[in-house]
Amino acid sequence: MKKLVLVLVLVSLFSCKKDATDFVDPTPTTSNVKVQITYNVDGEAVVFDTVRYTTPSGLPFSVVTVNYFLSNIYLIKSDSSNVKLADYFYGDGRDLTSTLDVSSIAIGNYIGIKFNIGVDSAHNIVDGLPATVDYNNMIWPEALGGGYHFLKFEGYFTDAGVNYGYAMHLGKNPNLVPVVLYHSISVSGTTSAINLKMNLNEWLKNPSIYDFNTDGNYSMMNDAAMQKLSENGTDVFSF
């Protein structure tokens, strides 16, 4: 036993020494990337529950829930090849501390970022993602086809003085939202921050106005509504 301990101590001493004397590469080739997402309504930072904003169709609304997935997240290189950042990311608008942190991304200048809003079809199946609390709460019931919600955007709106709820839920493979954002991104130093913004009102406009009254304040089981949200979703993100 003592011998074993001795060997362990020696090994650890040795490895300590090695670490200390390792030469430091003067030109690191990779950097850690931190993608931080913030939320706004036409430029106004989102305050959950209390503040009322105005939808593109003119209805005062508040925000209670913004939960969504991103999948297949890549940086785009100038030769238009891609460097993968992550397979998927779960975003919660209430939790600004949850960032996408990726280590060892090649240093250099990238011309943009691309991803899907939602879960790619390969993972959008029963048990397609690991069972975590957040992922489980996005489950699209097996009875409805299985997979995951791509987006849950919920709150309240008022129309003619009456308060209503709304819930924009998005799911199903055809409604996956492709996002490509061209913007020069420099990956350098120890950590490179990429700051993205989600404008919630962009879900409700561009190319088509989504009006809670006419398109439905709930998108569930409403393919036309989900398709509209999906089409509007391509430009909810910006730098």
Partner 1 sequence: MVPMFSASRIIKSSLFLLLAGGIISFNSCKKDDESATESVPLTPYSIDIPHGFPEPYLNADNPMTVEGIDMGHHFYYDPILSENGMRCTSCHFPNRSFSGLPYTTPAGDDIDIPPHVNLAWNPDYDWDGGIHMLDSLPLGDFAPQFFNTNMMALRQRLTASDYYSEMFKKVYHVTNFYSLTDDQLKMDIVKTIAQYLRSMVSANSKYDRYKLDHSVFTPSELNGYLIFMTEKGDCFHCHGDPLFTINQNKNNGLECNPTGINQGAYLITGIETDKGKFSVPTLRNIEFTAPYMHDGRFQTLEEVVEFYNSGVCQSSPNIDPIMTKPAKIYGLQLFDWEKADLVAFLKTLSDTTFMNNPNFANPF
Binding site for partner 1 (CB under 8 A): 1-2, 4-5, 49-50, 64-65, 127, 131-133, 135-137, 139, 141-144, 154-156, 163-167, 216-218, 220-221
Instruction: Tell the smallest beta-carbon distance from residue 127 to partner 1 (Å).
Output: 7
Residues 6+ apart with CB under 8 A from 214: none
CA–CA dist 167, 157 (Å, integer): 10
Instruction: Tell the smallest beta-carbon distance from residue 174 to partner 1 (Å).
Output: 18
Instruction: Tell the smallest beta-carbon distance from residue 152 to partner 1 (Å).
Output: 9
CA dihedral 210, 117, 218, 162 (to 10 degrees): -60
Q: Of 202, 196, 142, nearest to 177 (Cα)?
A: 202
Instruction: Tell the smallest beta-carbon distance from residue 145 to partner 1 (Å).
Output: 10
Residue 56 CB neighbours (<10 A): 17
Give the residue with the Cβ less far from partner 1, 74 or 164: 164
Give the residue with the Cβ less far from partner 1, 44 or 134: 134
Instruction: Tell the smallest beta-carbon distance from residue 137 to partner 1 (Å).
Output: 5
The residue to which tokens 């309240």 are assigned: 156
Q: State the DSSP code for 148.
A: B
Give the residue with the Cβ less far from partner 1, 66 or 181: 66
Give the residue with the Cβ less far from partner 1, 24 or 143: 143
Check the CA dihedral 154-88-40-177 and report its sign.
Answer: negative
Instruction: Tell the smallest beta-carbon distance from residue 106 to partner 1 (Å).
Output: 32
Give the residue with the Cβ less far from partner 1, 30 or 163: 163
Whats the size of the chain, residue-wise?
239
Give the residue with the Cβ less far from partner 1, 123 or 185: 123
CA dihedral 107, 113, 117, 120 (to 10 degrees): -70
Residue 137 CB neighbours (<10 A): 13
CA-atom Rg of the chain in angstroms: 22
